[in-house]
Amino acid sequence: MIYLDHNATTPVDPAVAERMAAFLRDHFGNPSSLYPIGRRVKEIMNEARERVAAALGADRGEIYFTGSGTESDNFAVFGTLESRPGRDEFVTSAVEHPAVIEAGKALEKRGFKVTYLPVDRYGTVDLDHLRSALTPKTGLVSVMHANNEIGTIQPVADIVRICHERDVPVHTDAVQSFGKIDVDVRRLGVDLLTVSAHKIYGPKGVGALYVRRGAAICPFVRGGRQERGLRAGTENTAGIVGFGEAVRVMEEKGKKERTRIERLAETLKKGIEDTIPEARFNGHPDNRVKSTLNFAFPGLEAEAILLALATKEIYVSTGSACSEESEEVSHVLQAIGLRPEIARSAIRMSLGRSNTEADVATVLRELPEIVAKFRSMSPFRPQG
């Protein structure tokens, strides 16, 4: 099997699975309990919180565990805007993850003014458009760190500088950048930042939201006093422990493994461009998460390519895993200027730890044959 969909999810690292199994076997206490078995679970949970915080350059008290990256995004958007009455304008980008796009649509139904910033052909937000969009009523700006479909990295630090000059807080979704490029909340300057465990070889069902100390935010889930009163409900303790272990493994493997994956991706990118000249690369040529590759094959259907590759046990994606079952054209690819028929021909390949040089060689053997086969049945003829 050749798995090239690490942006959708990653396999749980064996060390993470072992750590979670041991925790589940030995620790069942409720972290809100005052007696020793509960207090011990809380201690272990806070050790994981410390690991996540350190990896982000944050303090432990600035990390709040949630049930997913999507929940963290919603927590950031709705929690921040609720804390700023009278600030009924929300600014985001046209290429955000559905978690933020759909939050924007929900806000519009509540009477908020929502601005979706346009992007250039690489998927980068235009800072002049951002400046124009900000008003005294802007309550929050949310622009992702790295795009989940095309990998483009946004100028988040510049966005923060512009917004803070206008007293506007900034949230960034770093789910696709955490573990792939350096993510430091102090350098970025953001007020809120989202990460997720299952994108870094941890378990599904657990995310985290960084909230800068002093940033105003209201509870998103109400009830008990868990997560210092901001996210009620008994915590997913095993998932949180797994998150912490996934961060430990990530830090242990370090930049050496990251560089290896990037080199494999670059070999794959160059190989596709050399063997399938009509393939169109989507995303920034340099300023992107290098392990993410998005190619369009004009005249073909991405789903047909995906299914043909799957028969060879090569697994890729046609876009965001959170909207894979939808027949809608990728909003990201449309935002960068692709016509719908071109956008429907695009596949995403995202590499990770399990991938090898042999995997890349196999893909470069199979993919051109599949494209050539479908091309022979298509009326499309590449323009020279």
Give residue-wise pLDDT tens across range 219-244.
989 999 999 999 999 999 999 999 99
CATH of domain 14-249: 3.40.640.10
Q: What distance lies between CA 186 and its chain's CA centroid?
A: 19
pLDDT at 320: 53
- Would you call 1 exposed, middle or buried from its count of C-beta atoms within 10 A (0-12, 13-18, 19+)? exposed
Give residue-wise pLDDT tens across range 250-306.
999 988 999 999 999 999 999 999 999 899 999 999 999 999 999 999 999 999 999
Q: Is residue 322 among the annotated active site residues?
A: yes
Q: What distance lies between CA 356 and its chain's CA centroid?
A: 23
* Average pLDDT, integer, range 305-318: 98
- Would you call 188 exposed, middle or buried from its count of C-beta atoms within 10 A (0-12, 13-18, 19+)? buried
Rg for the chain (alpha carbons), in Å?
A: 21
pLDDT level of residue 377 (50, 70, 90 thresholds): confident
Residues whose CB is less than 8 angstroms from the CB of residue 23 and which lie 6 or more positions away in sequence, other chains included:
44, 237, 238, 241
Cα 78 to Cα 218: distance, rounded to the nearest angstrom: 8
pLDDT at 254: 86
CATH classification of 2-6+254-375, choosing from 3.90.1150.10, 2.60.40.2890, 3.40.50.970, 3.40.50.12780? 3.90.1150.10
Give residue-wise pLDDT tens across range 340-365.
999 999 999 999 999 999 999 999 99
45 pLDDT exceeds 70?
yes
Query: What percentage of the chain carries pLDDT values higher than 90?
Result: 94
pLDDT at 384: 40
Cα 252 to Cα 244: distance, rounded to the nearest angstrom: 12
Give residue-wise pLDDT tens across range 23-32.
999 999 999 9
Cα 149 to Cα 96: distance, rounded to the nearest angstrom: 10
3-state secondary structure of 346: strand
Structure token digits, residue 247: 């961060």
pLDDT at 191: 99
Cα 191 to Cα 205: distance, rounded to the nearest angstrom: 24
What pTM does this model have? 0.95
Domain ranges in the chain are: 2-6+254-375, 14-249
HSE (side-chain half, CA atoms, 13 Å) at 16: 27
Give the residue ranges of DSSP H helices in the chain: 14-26, 36-56, 69-82, 98-109, 127-133, 156-164, 185-188, 237-275, 302-310, 331-335, 340-343, 357-376
Give residue-wise pLDDT tens across range 1-18.
999 999 999 999 999 999
Given the residues 106, 157, 221, 322, select the one marked as catalytic: 322
Query: What percentage of the chain carries pLDDT values higher than 70?
Result: 96
100 pLDDT exceeds 50?
yes
Give residue-wise pLDDT tens across range 47-86.
999 999 999 999 999 999 999 999 999 999 999 999 999 9
Cα 99 to Cα 364: distance, rounded to the nearest angstrom: 34
Structure token digits, residue 138: 């802007």
Contact 243, 208 (CB under 8 A): yes
Structure token digits, residue 294: 């998005």
Amino acid at 309: L
Nearest to 233 by CA among 66, 62, 23: 66
